A and B are shown apart, each in its own frame.
Chain A
Amino acid sequence: MSRATIKDNEVDIVIGALRSDLTSFLNGWRSVFSQFHLIIVKDPDLKEELKIPDGFNLTVYTKTDIDQIVGSTALSFSGYSCRYFGFLVSKRKYIISIDDDCFPAKDNKGIFVDAMAQHIENLTTPATPFFFNTLYDPYREGADFVRGYPFSLRNGVDCALSCGLWLNLADLDAPTQALKPGLRNNHYVDAVLTVPRTTLMPVSGINIAFDREALGPALFPALKLAGEGKVRWETMEDIWCGMCVKVVCDHLGLGVKSGIPYVWRKDRGNAVESLKKEWEGVKLMEEIVPFFQSLSLSRTAATAEECVVEMATTVKQHLGTAHPVFGRAADSMVEWVRVWKAVGSKSS
């Protein structure tokens, strides 16, 4: 099985800085990050100066840059959404983005996982969304397609999104973590697999990578909870975005993988405290999921941009009436595409 070798200069690592002191974070990832270009976007709400150690090839963007480059817009890049600005200004083919409270994880053999390399591997080997392979990713070393897997489907499709996982503090919602305060994920599952076509999933923004050229503006800051906060328990923006991007990928014939790499996520925040804020998001999911399960895009939507615009219209028509947060999300999606075209539609 041939693998495309990609150069480091085809990758941008985008970090949304929600905390000012990035010293331990960047030092923790130094051996893996230092060969790449980093885009660090400071949360516009963050008052303190960023503390960044030396020795990295990086570009830092702050509120001033966001205002200047994007111009007048109703879009909000506050909190976790600041990373999307990084996706916007990147000129590279691939983007890897992880939260600033995540560190390298160790695999079952106690060896540190190079999460960047694994994401790149996921994105540069085909995905297999049309038929499930019981030995998981058939392109991995030591694996293959099993008996009964149709040969015509063995070329696979391009993988556009790689969703990694988390050891220690897993991406559970606030009610679940509050109920099980001691639950930590110690379970290293040595697999990556393609999430089948038409199957929806919660895409967590904590540890992802994607093909920016293929997906373009399909990852966006749109759904803002009224009480959105600075811990993942108090957000749904990535989940909303992930539902959209899965529909786009399914429609465009692109693949989405889930599994390794793992990152190690630091204990942070208080699930019980966040319960009050996240409850809104939990309730919204009950409407979001049936909507996306029945969503289909027209044949004429042939690019990610066209898909997003069409989805926004449908969101406004069907969900916007039920809850104003969806109406605003739809408007943001349209605005995002406009901004994307104005600022970010070219790769160097």
Chain B
Amino acid sequence: MANPSSSVPATPVLKDELDIVIPTIRNLDFLEQWRPFFQPYHLIIIQDGDPTKTINVPEGFDYELYNRNDINRILGPKASCISFKDSACRCFGYMVSKKKYIYTIDDDCFVAKDPSGKEINALQQHIKNLLSPSSPYFFNTLYDPYREGTDFVRGYPFSLRGGAPTAVSHGLWLNIPDYDAPTQLVKPLERNTRYVDAVLTIPKGTLFPMCGMNLAFNRELIGPAMYFGLMGDGQPIGRYDDMWAGWCTKVICDHLGLGVKTGLPYIWHSKASNPFVNLRKEYKGIFWQEELIPFFQSVSLPKDCTSVQQCYIEISKQVKAKLGKVDDYFNKLADAMVTWIEAWDELNPSSSATVHNGAAK
């Protein structure tokens, strides 16, 4: 059980404004270790796999749980866009949440310790990241200038020091690193032991591989872009759900003038998944990503796409037009992207008219 340390805030920040979304197929005992940090918050649990199984949630947590039957009931035919037998189903949790912020974490992720031995309140760091601006337009060599003990360096233009609103906070992992299957096979024993004490903004125009294991975002700013795609049962690919969401999200953030941060906080990733199973899931993705990256690098969104939904629909059209020929999967994915937005707007009616005030590029 985690020791309540001084990193547990007396009044949890954003207690009523943040939901923690957790996909699972097993019990949620891992929450015991997170209790001092998570208990004040509302959990949304997405139960994947067999809906007749009972998921054990430790006592004292406030949560809502959705299994496949619930997803089908709530979305009807639109449930087709939500993956089955893959943690990608978690994005259903983003859709049903009514909160401004989301934190999502995998059920094999535990509390990590910083180099001084102190337990890391990952959620609190994500909140700090989200509540302070990003700096996507010019690289600050001292990393996040809004952190305590640092600032903008000489040469950083003052007109850019206000930064951009932060939409995404991408955390990292100690112990088992998030490697792909080939790398896991070559380096089965490699562990990430390096604690890099930095948060930084991923510059505008630069893509990155977004991992969904330890991720937070401002749902009001970017929520509809966080669709985790068609993975798992009946699909030709797996382990690219978060990647897909990350590329779409970054393109839209760049277009709308929003920031994406990466770095702290670390969590402790305890379980290495089977590399042979992973290889089978990722196999097509490894080839497809060679087409996907140039595609996303060249996506251009028109100026009149001023909401996330508009941007996302536009990307789906370009996916169909340009990636449909790579594999028919992308035609289905493009359709699912549209379905996702329709479902999102249905479940979140007030946000469908949201127009982001940030300057579109």
Interface positions of A (Cβ within 8 A of B): 108, 131-136, 140, 142-153, 163, 165, 170-174, 176, 180, 183, 185-191, 195-204, 232-233, 236, 239, 242, 258, 282, 285-286, 288-289
Contacts and interface: CB of A to CB of B under 8 A. Distances in A.
A172 B152 contact: yes
Given A185-B142, A199-B203, A151 B286 contact: yes
Contacts of A143: 177, 192, 194
Interface in B198-217: 198, 202-211
Interface stretch (B22-30, B101-109, B153-161): B153-161
A173 B155 contact: yes
A146 B282 CA distance: 13
Contacts of A176: 151-152, 154
Nearest to B202: A132
Contacts of B203: 195-196, 198-199
A203 B154 CA distance: 9
B172 interface: yes
A149 B247 CA distance: 12
Contact of B211 (A147, A174, A190, A197): A147
A147 B198 contact: no
25 contacts: A131-B207, A131-B293, A132-B209, A133-B209, A134-B208, A134-B262, A144-B190, A146-B180, A147-B183, A149-B180, A170-B142, A173-B154, A188-B197, A190-B194, A190-B196, A195-B203, A196-B205, A197-B206, A200-B139, A201-B140, A202-B155, A204-B153, A233-B154, A239-B155, A258-B139
Contact of A134 (B140, B211, B240): B211
Given A135-B177, A183-B149, A189-B196, A148 B155 contact: no
B240 to A, nearest CB: 7
Contacts of A140: 194
A4 to B, nearest CB: 21
A195 B208 CA distance: 13
A148 B139 contact: no
Given A134-B262, A204-B153, A144 B139 contact: no
Given A190-B197, A282-B158, A148 B149 contact: no
Contacts of B282: 147
Contact of B159 (A150, A163, A171, A286): A286
B146 interface: no
A147 B149 contact: no
B315 to A, nearest CB: 18
Contacts of B172: 134-135
Contacts of B240: 148
B150 A185 contact: yes
Interface string B32-48: 00000000000000000
> Main SS of chain A's interface residues?
loop
Contacts of B206: 131-132, 196-199
A286 B239 contact: no
Contacts of A187: 142, 149-150, 197
Given A188-B197, A195-B139, A285 B180 contact: no
Given A189-B143, A204-B141, A172 B197 contact: no
Interface of B: 115, 138-143, 149-160, 170, 172, 177-180, 183, 187, 190-198, 202-211, 239-240, 242-243, 246, 262, 282, 286, 289-290, 293
Given A134-B209, A173-B155, A148 B290 contact: no
- Among B142, B172, B191, B282, the one with the most A-chain Cβ atoms within 10 Å of its Cβ is B142
Nearest to A180: B151
A145 to B, nearest CB: 7
Contacts of B198: 189, 191
Nearest to A293: B137
B242 to A, nearest CB: 8
Contacts of A199: 138-139, 203-206
Contacts of B190: 142, 144
Given A142-B192, A196-B203, A204-B155, A147 B141 contact: no
Nearest to B191: A142
B139 A147 contact: no
B195 A190 contact: yes
Contacts of B180: 145-149
Contacts of A197: 206
Contacts of B115: 108
A173 B161 CA distance: 13
B156 A202 contact: yes
A152 B290 contact: yes
Contacts of B170: 134
A191 B172 CA distance: 14
Nearest to A202: B155
B88 to A, nearest CB: 14
A146 B179 contact: yes
A24 to B, nearest CB: 25
Contact of A183 (B151, B194, B246, B290): B151
B56 to A, nearest CB: 29
A163 B207 contact: no
Contacts of A153: 293
B167 to A, nearest CB: 16
A144 B243 contact: no
A132 B194 contact: no
A288 B157 CA distance: 9
- Among B141, B153, B155, B156, the one with the most A-chain Cβ atoms within 10 Å of its Cβ is B155
A186 B207 contact: no
A150 B153 contact: no
Given A201-B138, A258-B139, A289 B160 contact: yes
Nearest to A165: B141
A285 B154 CA distance: 10
Nearest to B292: A150
A106 B204 CA distance: 33
Given A132-B208, A191-B198, A289-B160, A151 B290 contact: yes
B155 A236 contact: yes
Nearest to A154: B183
